[in-house]
Amino acid sequence: MEETRWKEKNQYLGLTEDGRRVRLLDQSQLPNREVWLELEEPEELAEAIRTLRVRGAPAIGVFAAYALYVLARRLADRAPVEAAFRTRLREWAAGLAATRPTAVNLRWALERMLARADRTAGPPEQIVQVLERECRAIHREDGEMCRRIAEHGLTLVGEGDGILTHCNAGALAASRYGTALGPILLGQERGKKLRVFADETRPLLQGGRLTAWELARAGVEVTLICDNMASMVMKNGWVQACFVGCDRVAANGDTANKIGTSGVAILAKHYGIPVYVLGPTSTIDMACPDGDHIPIEERDGEEIKTMWYEKPMALPEVKCYNPAFDVTDHELIAGIVTEKGICRPPYTKSLKALFDDKK
């Protein structure tokens, strides 16, 4: 019963009933307005990722897969020549992949869609049918992975524990339970109460706008703090573990996640608090040897200066540096929780074992 409730409620992304548009809750307008969008044009689909209407590594992968299918379907309606159809698919996939560079799930999902198309010999209408099954499968599997991550993550915490989280790695950012928020939401369903401290997450406030929104709606005890209060909360003894999501995990365990995550991990080390990274295996990039090889997105400085203020909070001539992600060194991470289980150091071995395991 509870299970069904989550399945239905935590669905912020999908296809419209006729399958011709991508439907999503516009995250850029939360928590004040719940606006659902239906998108079908190449530019509006790419814009939705760029401007964070849809965000979170697994969610942008799922969204991009749906987007590619919607575009393919529209084109197939116009009875194109097969070779031209396949070329156009590749161009759209490249355009979508270029919207955000750090989260590897985006590229992963698009490559999976293209590979499926490549393996399908046949006219565009047939390829479109296969692509529809593939994007729905990507979404369904993401939900299943999140559920398993939640199960594994829940074993790491006890009744009443305080969890500090950064950014938003909940159902908005992935499917169903999300990743870092999964154990908390599953615990809530099962009556295992956890207390959450949500970093507001400057500059785009995903913690305040999204994590606090999701957890409050689920009835979880959540306390919003400014990013610079994390040390105080840890020092007070209120935090027993940090749960964070990930945008890309390198083969040695170095992890890119929302800017500020590495600072949380450094503080946690000082206070002896374990930091767990939670994410599906689609976020692990074994071709990337370490964090130095992860491309870090840099965003417009106006997000810092003007976005949340009635009047600009710095002079126009003041320069800003606005990296969207940072890399947490693998030595600061106590465990990486995936759908296949919890990886422990040394990550070069434990992460590799995930992919050697053909089960």
Would you say 161 or 247 has its CB closer to ligand MRU? Answer: 247
Would you say 123 or 341 has its CB closer to ligand MRU? Answer: 341
Read off the DSSP letter of residue 298: B
> Interface residues for ligand MRU in 136-155 (CB under 6 A)?
none
Answer for which of 65, 103, 113, 171 binds ligand MRU (CB under 6 A) is: 103
Q: Binding of ligand MRU at residue 169 (CB under 6 A)?
A: yes
Would you say 189 or 297 has its CB closer to ligand MRU? Answer: 297
224 CB-near residues (< 8 Å, 6+ apart) = 198, 200, 207, 208, 212
Answer for which of 10, 175, 179, 188 binds ligand MRU (CB under 6 A) is: 179
Would you say 71 or 146 has its CB closer to ligand MRU? Answer: 146
Kindly state the tokens that stand for 355: 């992919």
Handedness of CA 45, 325, 28, 339 (dihedral sign): positive
Q: Binding pattern to ligand MRU, positions 206-235, x when CB under 6 A? A: x-----------------------------
Read off the DSSP letter of residue 323: B
Contact 27, 178 (CB under 8 A): no
- In angstroms, give the least distance from the CB of 19 to ligand MRU: 26
Contact 13, 63 (CB under 8 A): yes
Q: Binding of ligand MRU at residue 324 (CB under 6 A)?
A: yes
The DSSP secondary structure of 200-221, one letter per residue, reads --TTTTHIIIIIHHHHHHHT-E
> Interface residues for ligand MRU in 73-102 (CB under 6 A)?
none
Would you say 51 or 87 has its CB closer to ligand MRU? Answer: 51
Question: Cα separation of 170 and 214, whole Å?
Answer: 7
Helix (H, G, I), strand (E, B) or coil at 37: strand
Radius of gyration of the chain from its Cα atoms, rounded to whole angstroms: 20
> Interface residues for ligand MRU in 6-45 (CB under 6 A)?
none
CA nearest to 197, candidates 231, 163, 154, 157:
163
Question: Cα separation of 85 and 83, whole Å?
Answer: 5
Kindly state the tokens that stand for 267: 């503080």
Would you say 56 or 335 has its CB closer to ligand MRU? Answer: 56
> Interface residues for ligand MRU in 43-62 (CB under 6 A)?
52, 55-58
CA nearest to 251, candidates 180, 179, 336, 178:
336
Answer for which of 72, 145, 173, 334 binds ligand MRU (CB under 6 A) is: 173
Marked catalytic residue, from 142, 161, 199, 247: 247
Contact 106, 50 (CB under 8 A): no
Answer for which of 124, 143, 153, 178 binds ligand MRU (CB under 6 A) is: 178
> 247 an active-site residue?
yes
Q: Binding of ligand MRU at residue 258 (CB under 6 A)?
A: yes
Which residues would be at the binding site for ligand MRU (CB under 6 A)? Answer: 52, 55-58, 103, 167, 169, 173-174, 178-179, 206, 245-247, 257-258, 324
Catalytic residues: 247
